Amino acid sequence: MDSPTDEVAGPAIDPILGSILDDRYRVDGLIGRGGMAAVYRADDVALGRRVAVKVFTASTEGIDDADRRRSETALLASLTHPALVTLYDAAKDPASRREFLVMELVEGEDLRKVLERGPIGRRDAARMLADLAEGLHVIHSRGIVHRDVKPANVLLAPAHLPTRRWNAKLADFGIARLLDESRLTATGRIIGTPGYLSPEQVRGEAVGSSADVYALGLLVLESLTGRQPFPGPALESASARLVRDPEIPGDLPLDWRELLAAMTARDPAERPTALDVALATEALATEALATEAGTTGDVPAEGDTRILPATRTAGTPADDATAATRVLTGVGAAPAASAATAAPGAPGTPSAASERADRRLPRRAVLGIAAAAVVLAAAVVVPLTIGALPDDGGTTGSTPASPSEAPMPSVEGDLGVHLDQLEEAVSP
């Protein structure tokens, strides 16, 4: 523990600063301090690399069992993913008797500091959500629950692409396992931060991966609005989510409202998985980019796939109120049977509603159809024109009629009708 501040001697001296933990990690700077631990910059003198060292307070115990520490560290270190802060080592310093973790050093701010300056845009929020949801999917697939998803545990490394500001990384996953979750909870401690606890954590129930999805929903909602969904003292904040859902602004797009409402459902069974969230967010990032470019996002692009959560906010159409999570494919899939060939009521016959939807094509699809018609017309006109030229090797000296004076060939059927329409469209 830190010694108290001495008004005469100056600020308290941190005994960790300047020390070499476990004869390997030379600590040279403080990054941040929390209730359970402090994080420092350090040099790994054995490998010659910069690392982050998380040193737990003297009152926090749990990784003293060397065999369990090795097995848990091996598991967590095997979870390599761009959205996860890599764990390198877990040990106990013989000199100070302090337990610590050694992790990848991420240069950049954490989300908590960014939000102190105000909310972030939907495009940045969507990309951050996609990163974090994918990272959670990776750890959930290995049976690990984070239990403390919050802005301070989201590190934002500067991106090197003009399309995004950061690459989001999730830190401190697996801490509950390393510190012996059963020992901590047996003393009545709740692992997590009051402002981001799930309802089941507040009730002291068994916690699964859906608790991380709930906390991620609160985190993203705060990122978009700049306000904590459940503010106030710890007890008031924690108990509020037992009786109400977080408020989701009505000015957010429908897809955002649906996804956030599903992620923050009070019933864990109603929440999507982290994988569902990651897939849904890919569409949100695309729509946010289109909105910033000044285009509409009402019609999905060709090949666009969206995962829509089951829960909908109040006031949305009743026919989708109980719809399950589903995949919506974009425009571009051909209908099973055309209206001209299928009998009314036969399988594959599009309804009036689907016909209206099929006609609402994106602009690039319309341009593609027009270009195809021009190419098709040229394919018919060119052979006919070549066949009409004099067979003298081009030495007659006669001047062929200009393209504008040459009549369009007569072609029967639907193709002829389309060519006549094209001729009328391009005629002066």
Residue 136: name the closest of 212, 28, 232 by CA.
212
Question: Following CA atoms 157, 158, 162, 163 in sequence, which dihedral angle do they give, to the nearest 10 degrees?
Answer: 30
Catalytic residue among 148, 180, 212, 255: 148
CB-side exposure of 234: number of CA atoms within 13 Å? 5
Q: Is 148 a catalytic residue?
A: yes
Residue 33: name the closest of 63, 6, 12 by CA.
12
Q: CA-to-CA distance for 261 and 221, rounded, in angstroms? A: 10
Instruction: Tell me phi and psi for residue 54, to 5 degrees.
Output: -100, 110
Can you tell me which residue has the tokens 């018919």? Answer: 380
3-state secondary structure the chain: CCCCCECCCECCCCCCCCCEECCCEEEEEEEEECCCEEEEEEEECCCCEEEEEEEECCCCCCCCCHHHHHHHHHHHHCCCCCCECCEEEEEECCCCCCEEEEEECCCCEEHHHHHCCCCCCHHHHHHHHHHHHHHHHHHHCCCCCCCCCCHHHEEEEECCCCCCCEEEEECCCCHHHHCCHHHHHHCCCCCCCHHHCCHHHHCCCCCCHHHHHHHHHHHHHHHHHCCCCCCCCHHHHHHHCCCCCCCCCCCCCHHHHHHHHHHCCCCHHHCCCHHHHHHHHHHHHHHHHHHHCCCCCCCCCCCCEEEECCCCCCCCCHHHCCCCCEEEECECECCCCCCCCCCCCCCCCCCHHHHHHHHCCCHHHHHHHHHHHHHHHHHHHHHHHHHHCCCCCCCCCCCCCCCCCCCCCCCCHHHHHHHHHHHHHHCC
For residue 181, give both structure tokens.
């979750």
For residue 343, give both structure tokens.
């009998």
Q: CA-to-CA distance for 132 and 168, rounded, in angstroms? A: 7
Active site residue ranges: 148
